[in-house]
Structure 1
């Protein structure tokens, strides 16, 4: 019969093996060139791919990742289904700032359905189309500051009816067409500062029901 000390050693050994197995599986599920971890004392799973000189969107981002950081790289295009095609995903916060993004595939953010915050600051986007954000009806905060957007066309954000904060500051916008903000009835804050707007057409803000700040 094994002594209590031997039993304790065996249990400890099994525990260590399980921990190592968990770490191994976690690393295997992490995209190459990225770090995957839980931040601080939170229960959120993060994937961090910052400052890696990536030229393409990383493949196989696990659907269990809640926070996605892919900043300060050389990515030019956001492909279709960058987070896979399954609607069962935990991705909620995506930060793609300081890349070279100039192209977004149609419906790129229709999955994940849980996506709440999307940041595309300081990229090279010149145009926004309704096709790019088709089906992206879960997003509550969209940051597109510091791009090269020239105009806002009608119905660009038509599918983003949950949007609360929209920031387009620091672009070169000189024209906002009527109905540009159609569908944004729940918008609270709109930032258009540091653009080249000279004239605003009548009725641009007519659809806002709960707007609190326009800058």
Structure 2
């Protein structure tokens, strides 16, 4: 789908939302220009689920400055422009599940400082930049299951100190950095089901004192360090 069709589709969605929530403003406030959705000051949610999208212009959301929810589930996106979300500074929820993303550009989430939930499940991602989440300091829910990753760079989660839930089901991790979760002190649920982990480093969970659920089934673990769970005194499910 090209950007012009995307614009028309987005405006259609916007009109439907406005018609239901604010009939007096429906459709009249949204227009397209060169494949870009123009000023839509009342829009807080955009859904483009299963719309056949194969690419997005870097300016696709440049005028959606107060949008809080963008749903791009089930499309065919392979790459995203680095500046795609530079104007969506109020964004709280972003769903990119079931696309064909192979990488994410450094700086993609630089402006999304209010982001709380990010779903990247079911994409063939093979690499994440170490600074990817540096600006998303309010992130609470992160979904990275079945994304083909075999490595999480050191420092990747250092800025997301409010994170509560992390899913890493069905990847290819065989080891994790000892300091990977050193900043995730609010973490409550962590899932590494169906990976290839053979061991866990001493001190991995030293900072996760609020962890309640840890799921490590269907790995290849042969050894656990003595004292691995000494700090996880609130752990209820293992």
The verdict on a shared fold, with TM-score over 0.5 as the criterion, is yes
Is 1:23 aligned to 2:8, yes or no? no
Contact 2:47 2:70 in 1 (8 A): yes
Specify whether residues 207 and 44 from structure 1 end up closer, same or farther in structure 2 by C-alpha distance, changes over 3 A only: farther
Higher strand share: 1
> Can you give the 5+ residue segments of structure 1 that lack an aligned partner in the other structure?
1-17, 38-42
TM-score for the superposition, normalised by structure 2 = 0.70
Q: CA RMSD in A?
A: 2.8
Helix, strand or coil at the partner of 2:180: coil
Specify whether residues 33 and 122 from structure 1 end up closer, same or farther in structure 2 by C-alpha distance, changes over 3 A only: farther
Match of 2:105 in 1: 105
CA distance in 1, matches of 2:125, 2:34: 25
Match of 2:204 in 1: 204
Is 1:122 aligned to 2:126, yes or no? no
Contact 2:142 2:165 in 1 (8 A): yes
Specify whether residues 198 and 33 from structure 1 end up closer, same or farther in structure 2 by C-alpha distance, changes over 3 A only: farther
CA distance in 2, matches of 1:44, 1:85: 14
Match of 2:56 in 1: 57
Match of 1:92 in 2: 92
> Can you give the 5+ residue segments of structure 2 that lack an aligned partner in the other structure?
1-21, 216-238
Cα deviation per residue 1:165-210 (whole Å; 9 max; x = unaligned)? 1111111111112112221111111111111112111111112121
Give the Å deviation of 1:21. Answer: 5.8
Match of 2:45 in 1: 46
Specify whether residues 129 and 21 from structure 1 end up closer, same or farther in structure 2 by C-alpha distance, changes over 3 A only: closer
* Structure having the higher Rg: 1
TM-score for the superposition, normalised by structure 1 = 0.77
Contact 1:49 1:70 in 2 (8 A): yes
